[in-house]
């Protein structure tokens, strides 16, 4: 048989469930396909429309929806859709539209039925793996304002605990103790009977709380067998389940109540207490920061590390972008340092000469995540005399670095910490360090010092850090040899060659199950952005801000910096999500991402992002060669 | 593309590229003038009127692989056709023919299309499959990428074999691309800066619409590539109600 549809056949051979079909069936499928193109944003299938084909994505991306408009699935090259409709009524169940410019292969319904009937692997793929394939579908991005607010129903932990009006206050107290709640909903006896019958609660007579028992029974000296109906609060203040958490807070403040029954369709589905709101808000990064400054000891600070993790997870779940998360985590890390330094100074007394405590690397770049080691240093006043003063600063450094380690910021294995005498030096020595790095560069000498080119002051004479950075950037941008050496080092860590369904293809053809997404992705990106930033005289630290500067300076061809920015966001978010998933599962977060745990969509985006990184590295090599 | 346009033949000139031509009327006239029965039948199948919206026009993507670029000196090696409409490309109805050209294969053309002397030793002459080809073409508007090949080559070949040529409307996806990217000549600044004009070659044009890379120079694949490109171009910047007169040549 002569096959005219070579391109189509080749494509089928690369994608499940077609690659599992026998060759002659593949040829048969290829020869029956029709093709259709859809521009990004245009509808492909609408609900209830009759179906005559299975849709296979040749290129582009497609979103399918539930009837209510919620995102159902997001698919890319090789993805199939409309199979549920074909299996049932031959009408569209999940409407679809093109997310990108998309080319579709249409496999006729009759052929689909035949494949489903005769090929078990095909049938299994279509039936069973639908749920599987949808795992980790990223939710549609909505605007941050909407996402940063949550609905009250997310705070409800359990069904409401109830008693009837005729129960005694003693019974109420026992029930509250037993159920560990601070309030009860009080029902009319007949309503309770109905509730037992229907499994629903319809009418609430009132609410009774700890405070009611204290103020209306204990204080006036009423007997414990008083009916709760006599002391309960009858004027019930409630909230609807779809209202926002901040509205609950406002209602509690306005009415001076600490408990709110949450209503859905006229019946209570739970009660939220002010403590629920406090617990919720404690996962907010601002709250974490403010509580850091209230802690009185390292032990107390250490106890906050759970809150930091919760805050990280919350931001991820609220769809914050990598810049928001990175800077929130950096602010938290910086606050730990500042509080530890305050505590150290309380303990050791005022410093003998002024100093500046430095953050280096990811904290300086405001790209800190949850798995991070401490990179820090001390700049001392030029009057510093080691014999006289270093005892103090060594103790200070030990206190801070040990404290940070206790709070979850592991020691820097490269010894880049203020505890290392080399990195605890007067300003003039630091100036000499930088001059030396820039004037006498070699890739080997700079290998371990690139971290010093992301520098920020966190405590004390922070203006010294700014001055050091300013001078450094001015010198660096003029030294071709320095830039060439930095560029050479920025090429040491490369992205993987390919990124497949369940393995990573290395440049030498080896296949691995996972890759270190920091070492192979975010770190080399930050490295190459730093080189361009220094070359363009940029004094910013954050990679996204550096990219803005690079774009304005027109240092690299138009469009490239934007591509790099998008690639950084994709890779950073994959890393962040990976860590958030581990935290939620109670596991130790790391940087090792396995492709099989990603959705098709994430995999494809990562593949493209790695391609951008690879091209950007080639360009870097070309741009800063020699010198 | 070095092709400079067909040399006009006295008796059987090509009408294409004359502005505002009414192909329906032209086909009616041709049906009366043609002598070969196959051509008479082809013209009698008629052509859509100038105001027909593109969404209702039957289309046929066509690609020829040839021994060179000159219709008078070079011959057709293979023909690929893919029927389509604006909504669907019927690649399931695609056809491919290898042909024995009247002229010799040159080394350089073998390099391009990969069709060798062996492949065409047993291939038929175009006259033996002309029926089939014309039945595919009947009533449809041809879709090509660069109109300097298919129409002039078919014209020259039939003139040689039958003593009379053929004429038909084409939609040229390269010309549609040129309308977008070559609407004004490069300015002095562009020249000084050495700015390259946007490539309107098939593969480059396709990439701009997110269409996949295909291996070129197989007649059916190239026809399919033009078919997909046309759908993308119309989706991008023409209404489905655009009258065919604005698109064909």
The confidence score (pLDDT) of residue B124 equals 85
For B157-196, what is each residue's pLDDT tens digit? 999 889 999 999 999 999 999 888 776 665 666 666 656 6
Across the interface, which of B88, B95, B215 has its CB nearest the CB of A36?
B88
First to last CA, chain B: 19
In angstroms, what CA-CA distances link B112 with B63, B116, B186, B221?
Answer: 14, 10, 31, 14
Averaged pLDDT, groups of 10, chain A, 627 residues long: 75 88 92 92 90 93 82 84 86 89 94 90 73 43 41 79 91 91 87 56 81 90 92 89 77 84 85 81 74 88 88 81 86 91 94 94 90 89 93 95 92 90 94 92 81 92 92 90 92 82 69 85 94 92 92 87 91 92 87 83 84 91 77
Tell me whether residues B232 and A59 touch, CB distance under 8 A.
no
Residues of A in contact with B202 (CB under 8 A): none
Torsion sign over Cα A501, A504, A507, A509 = negative
Residue of B nearest to A101 (CA): B210
Select from B113, B210, B214, B233 the residue whose CB has the most chain A CBs within 10 Å, as the one to mutate to test that interface: B210
**pLDDT tier, B110 (very low <50, low <70, confident <90, very high otherwise):** low
The confidence score (pLDDT) of residue A142 equals 38
Task: Report CA Rg, chain B.
Answer: 18
Tell me whether residues B232 and A4 touch, CB distance under 8 A.
no
Bond from prior residue into A276 cis (ω within 30 degrees of 0): no
Tell me whether residues B228 and A31 touch, CB distance under 8 A.
no
User: Do A172 and A213 touch, CB atoms closer than 8 A?
Assistant: yes
The confidence score (pLDDT) of residue A325 equals 87
Across the interface, which of B80, B90, B235 has its CB nearest the CB of A34?
B90
Kindly report the backbone phi and psi dihedral angles of residue A516, in degrees, each rounded to the nearest multiple of 5, phi listed first: -80, 105
Q: A159: burial class by Cβ within 10 Å (0-12, 13-18, 19+)?
A: exposed
Cα separation of A208 and A187, whole Å? Answer: 11
Select from A35, A54, A60, A109 the residue whose CB has the most chain B CBs within 10 Å, as the one to mutate to test that interface: A35
Cα separation of B61 and B25, whole Å? Answer: 23
**pLDDT tier, B8 (very low <50, low <70, confident <90, very high otherwise):** very low
User: Do B82 and A8 touch, CB atoms closer than 8 A?
Assistant: no
Cα separation of B115 and A217, whole Å? Answer: 101
Tell me whether residues B88 and A5 touch, CB distance under 8 A.
no
Q: What average pLDDT does this structure show over B66-83?
A: 88
Give chain A's contact residues with B (Cβ, < 8 Å): 2, 4-8, 11, 31-39, 42, 58-60, 100-103, 106, 108
Tell me whether residues A6 and B221 touch, CB distance under 8 A.
yes
Across the interface, which of B87, B95, B210 has its CB nearest the CB of A60?
B210
Q: CATH classification of A285-476, choosing from 3.40.50.720, 3.40.430.10, 1.10.1740.10, 3.30.460.10?
A: 3.30.460.10
User: Do A75 and A90 touch, CB atoms closer than 8 A?
Assistant: no
CA nearest neighbour of A35 among A107, A110, A129, A131: A107
Cα separation of A574 and A348, whole Å? Answer: 43
Residues of B in contact with A76 (CB under 8 A): none
Residue of A nearest to B90 (CA): A34
Domains of chain A by residue range: 6-133, 152-272, 285-476, 487-623
Strand partners, A106: A34, A55
In angstroms, what CA-CA distances link B162 with A141, A209, B38?
Answer: 64, 102, 10
User: Do B146 and B174 touch, CB atoms closer than 8 A?
Assistant: yes
- Write A173-180 long-range contacts (CB < 8 A, 24+): A173/A213, A173/A224, A176/A210
Rounded to a whole number, what is the distance in Å from the CA of A604 to chain B's nearest CA?
Answer: 15
User: Do A624 and A487 touch, CB atoms closer than 8 A?
Assistant: yes
Whether B90 and chain A come into contact, CB under 8 Å, resolves to yes
Nearest-5° Cα angle at A452, A446 to A458: 175
Residues of A in contact with B231 (CB under 8 A): 36-37
Across the interface, which of A6, A100, A108 has its CB nearest the CB of B210?
A100
Q: Which two tokens stand for residue A142?
A: 């909505």
The confidence score (pLDDT) of residue A188 equals 84
Q: A120: burial class by Cβ within 10 Å (0-12, 13-18, 19+)?
A: exposed
First to last CA, chain A: 61
Tell me whether residues B235 and A102 touch, CB distance under 8 A.
no
Residues of B in contact with A98 (CB under 8 A): none
Tell me whether residues A39 and B235 touch, CB distance under 8 A.
yes
Task: Report CA Rg, chain A.
Answer: 31
Domain A6-133 in CATH: superfamily? Jelly Rolls (2.60.120.10)
Cα separation of A323 and A333, whole Å? Answer: 15
Residues of B in contact with A37 (CB under 8 A): 209, 211, 228, 231-232, 235
The confidence score (pLDDT) of residue B7 equals 41
CATH of domain B23-238+242-246: 3.30.420.10
- How far does CA B72 lie from the centroid of its chain? 17
Residue B148 has pLDDT above 60, yes or no: yes
Strand stretches in A232-320, DSSP E: 239-240, 259-264, 267-273
HEC letters along A199-263: CCCCCEEEEEEHHHHHHHHHCCCCCCCCEHHHHCECCCCCEECCCEHHHHHHHHHHHCCCEEEEE
Strand stretches in chain B, DSSP E: 59-66, 76-84, 95-98, 141-144, 170-172
CA nearest neighbour of B81 among B237, B245, B221: B221
Cα separation of A218 and A224, whole Å? Answer: 9
Residues of B in contact with A38 (CB under 8 A): 235
Cα separation of B79 and B64, whole Å? Answer: 5
Cα separation of B33 and B165, whole Å? Answer: 11
Domains of chain B by residue range: 23-238+242-246
Cα separation of A455 and A359, whole Å? Answer: 6
The confidence score (pLDDT) of residue B196 equals 65
Q: A357: burial class by Cβ within 10 Å (0-12, 13-18, 19+)?
A: buried
Pairing state between β A511-512 and A515-516: unpaired
For A362-393, what is each residue's pLDDT tens digit? 999 989 888 788 899 999 999 999 999 999 99
In angstroms, what CA-CA distances link A471 with A438, A465, A475, A538, B7?
Answer: 11, 10, 6, 11, 71
The confidence score (pLDDT) of residue A450 equals 84
Across the interface, which of B88, B215, B218 has its CB nearest the CB of A35?
B88
Rounded to a whole number, what is the distance in Å from the CA of B237 to chain A's nearest CA?
Answer: 10
Whether B83 and chain A come into contact, CB under 8 Å, resolves to no
Strand partners, A97: A43, A63
Cα separation of A224 and B95, whole Å? Answer: 94
Rounded to a whole number, what is the distance in Å from the CA of A518 to chain B's nearest CA?
Answer: 30
Rounded to a whole number, what is the distance in Å from the CA of B222 to chain A's nearest CA?
Answer: 10
CA nearest neighbour of A520 among A569, A579, A571: A571
Q: Under CATH, which architecture does the A152-272 domain have?
A: Roll (3.10)
User: Do A25 and A96 touch, CB atoms closer than 8 A?
Assistant: no
Alpha helices for B122-246 (secondary structure H): 130-137, 150-162, 173-181, 188-192, 202-208, 219-237
- Determine how many CB atoms are found less than 10 A away from the CB of residue A196: 10
Query: Number of C-alpha atoms within 13 angstroms, CB side, residue A322?
Result: 25
Q: What average pLDDT does this structure show over B9-13?
A: 44
User: Do A469 and A539 touch, CB atoms closer than 8 A?
Assistant: yes
Q: Which two tokens stand for residue A392?
A: 């103090």
In angstroms, what CA-CA distances link A594 with A502, A574, B134?
Answer: 7, 11, 55
Q: Which two tokens stand for residue B232?
A: 């993308």
Residues of B in contact with A31 (CB under 8 A): 92
Q: Residue A360: enclosing H or E segment and its boundaries? A: strand A355-360
Domains A6-133 and A285-476 share a fold: no
The confidence score (pLDDT) of residue A412 equals 86
Tell me whether residues A59 and B211 touch, CB distance under 8 A.
yes
Across the interface, which of B95, B215, B232 has its CB nearest the CB of A37?
B232
Whether B62 and chain A come into contact, CB under 8 Å, resolves to no
Whether B205 and chain A come into contact, CB under 8 Å, resolves to no
CA nearest neighbour of A159 among A72, A239, A267: A267
Q: Which two tokens stand for residue B193?
A: 């800066």
Cα separation of B156 and A246, whole Å? Answer: 79
Across the interface, which of B80, B91, B214 has its CB nearest the CB of A34?
B91
Alpha helices for A237-273 (secondary structure H): 245-255
Residues of A in contact with B81 (CB under 8 A): none
Q: B38: burial class by Cβ within 10 Å (0-12, 13-18, 19+)?
A: middle
Torsion sign over Cα A350, A356, A360, A366 = positive
Rounded to a whole number, what is the distance in Å from the CA of A264 to chain B's nearest CA?
Answer: 46
CA nearest neighbour of A511 among A420, A605, A595: A595
- How far does CA B50 lie from the centroid of its chain? 19
């Amino acid at each position: 048989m002569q096959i005219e549809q070579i391109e189509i056949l080749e494509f089928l051979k690369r994608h499940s469930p077609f690659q599992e079909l026998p060759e002659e069936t593949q040829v048969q499928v290829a020869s029956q396909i029709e093709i259709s193109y859809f521009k990004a944003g245009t509808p492909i299938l609408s609900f209830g429309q009759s179906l005559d084909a299975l849709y296979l994505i040749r290129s582009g991306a497609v979103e399918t929806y539930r009837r209510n408009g919620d995102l159902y699935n997001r698919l890319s090259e090789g993805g199939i859709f409309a199979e549920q409709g074909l299996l049932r009524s031959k009408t569209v169940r999940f409407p679809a539209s093109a997310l990108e410019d998309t080319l579709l292969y249409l496999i006729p319904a009759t052929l689909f039925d035949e494949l489903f009937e005769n090929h078990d692997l095909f049938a299994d793929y279509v039936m069973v793996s639908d749920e599987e394939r949808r795992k980790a579908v990223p939710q549609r991005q909505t605007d941050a304002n909407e996402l940063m607010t949550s609905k009250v129903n997310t705070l409800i932990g359990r069904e409401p605990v109830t008693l009837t009006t005729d129960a005694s206050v003693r019974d109420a107290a026992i029930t509250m103790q037993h159920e560990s709640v601070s309030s009860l909903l009080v029902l009319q006896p007949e309503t309770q009977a109905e509730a037992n019958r229907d499994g629903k609660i319809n009418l609430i007579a009132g609410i009774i709380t700890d405070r009611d028992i204290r103020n209306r029974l204990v204080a006036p000296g009423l007997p414990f067998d008083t009916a709760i109906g006599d002391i309960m609060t009858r004027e019930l203040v409630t909230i609807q389940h779809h209202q926002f958490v901040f509205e609950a807070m406002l209602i509690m403040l306005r009415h001076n109540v600490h408990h709110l029954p949450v209503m859905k369709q006229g019946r209570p589905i739970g009660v939220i207490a002010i403590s629920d709101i406090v617990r919720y808000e404690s996962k907010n990064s601002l709250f974490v920061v403010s509580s850091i400054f209230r802690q009185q000891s390292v032990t107390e600070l250490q106890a906050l590390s759970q809150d930091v993790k919760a805050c990280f997870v919350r931001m991820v779940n609220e769809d914050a972008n990598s810049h928001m998360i990175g800077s929130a985590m950096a602010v938290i890390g910086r606050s730990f340092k500042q509080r530890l330094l305050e505590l150290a100074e309380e303990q050791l007394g005022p410093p003998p000469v002024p100093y500046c405590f430095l953050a280096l690397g990811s904290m300086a770049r405001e790209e800190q995540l949850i798995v991070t080691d401490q990179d820090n240093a001390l700049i001392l006043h030029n009057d510093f005399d080691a014999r006289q003063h270093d005892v103090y600063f060594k103790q200070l450094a030990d206190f801070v670095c040990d404290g940070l380690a206790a709070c979850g910021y592991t020691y820097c294995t490269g010894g880049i910490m203020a505890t290392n005498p080399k990195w605890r030096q007067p300003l003039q020595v630091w100036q000499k360090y930088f001059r030396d790095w820039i004037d006498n560069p070699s890739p080997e000498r700079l290998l371990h010092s690139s971290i010093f080119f992301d520098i920020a002051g966190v405590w004390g004479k922070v203006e010294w850090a700014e001055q050091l950075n300013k001078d450094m950037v001015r010198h660096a941008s003029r030294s071709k040899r320095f830039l060439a050496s930095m560029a050479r080092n920025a090429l040491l860590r490369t992205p993987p060659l390919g990124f497949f369904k369940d393995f990573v293809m290395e440049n030498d053809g080896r296949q691995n199950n996972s890759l270190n997404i920091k070492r192979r992705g975010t770190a080399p990106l930050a490295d190459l952005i730093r080189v361009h930033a220094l070359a363009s005289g940029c004094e910013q630290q954050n990679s996204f801000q550096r990219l803005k500067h690079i774009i304005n300076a027109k240092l690299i061809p138009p469009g490239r910096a934007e591509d790099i920015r998008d690639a950084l966001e994709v890779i950073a978010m994959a890393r962040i999500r990976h860590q958030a998933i581990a935290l939620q599962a109670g596991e130790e977060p790391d940087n090792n991402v396995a492709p099989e745990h990603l959705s098709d969509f994430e995999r494809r985006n990562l593949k493209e992002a790695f391609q951008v990184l690879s091209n950007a590295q080639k360009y870097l090599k070309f741009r800063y060669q020699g010198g | 593309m070095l092709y400079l346009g067909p040399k006009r033949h006295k008796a059987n000139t090509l009408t294409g590229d004359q502005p505002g031509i009414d192909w329906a009327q032209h086909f009616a006239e041709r049906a009366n003038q043609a002598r070969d029965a196959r051509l008479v039948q082809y013209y009698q199948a008629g052509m859509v009127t100038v105001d027909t919206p593109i969404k209702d026009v039957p289309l046929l993507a066509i690609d020829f692989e040839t021994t060179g670029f000159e219709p008078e000196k070079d011959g057709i090696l293979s023909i690929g056709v893919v029927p389509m409409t604006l909504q669907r490309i019927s690649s399931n109805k695609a056809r491919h023919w290898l042909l024995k050209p009247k002229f010799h294969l040159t080394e350089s053309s073998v390099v391009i299309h990969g069709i060798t002397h062996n492949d065409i030793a047993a291939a038929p002459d175009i006259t033996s499959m002309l029926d089939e080809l014309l039945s595919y073409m009947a009533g449809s508007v041809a879709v090509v990428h660069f109109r300097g090949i298919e129409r002039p080559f078919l014209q020259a070949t039939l003139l040689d074999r039958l003593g009379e040529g053929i004429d038909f409307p084409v939609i040229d996806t390269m010309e549609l691309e040129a309308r977008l990217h070559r609407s004004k000549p490069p300015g002095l600044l562009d020249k000084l800066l050495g700015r390259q004009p946007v490539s309107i070659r098939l593969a480059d044009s396709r990439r701009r619409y997110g269409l996949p890379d295909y291996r070129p120079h197989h007649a059916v694949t190239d026809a399919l590539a033009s078919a997909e490109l046309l759908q993308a171009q119309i989706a991008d910047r023409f209404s489905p109600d655009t009258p065919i007169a604005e698109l064909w040549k």
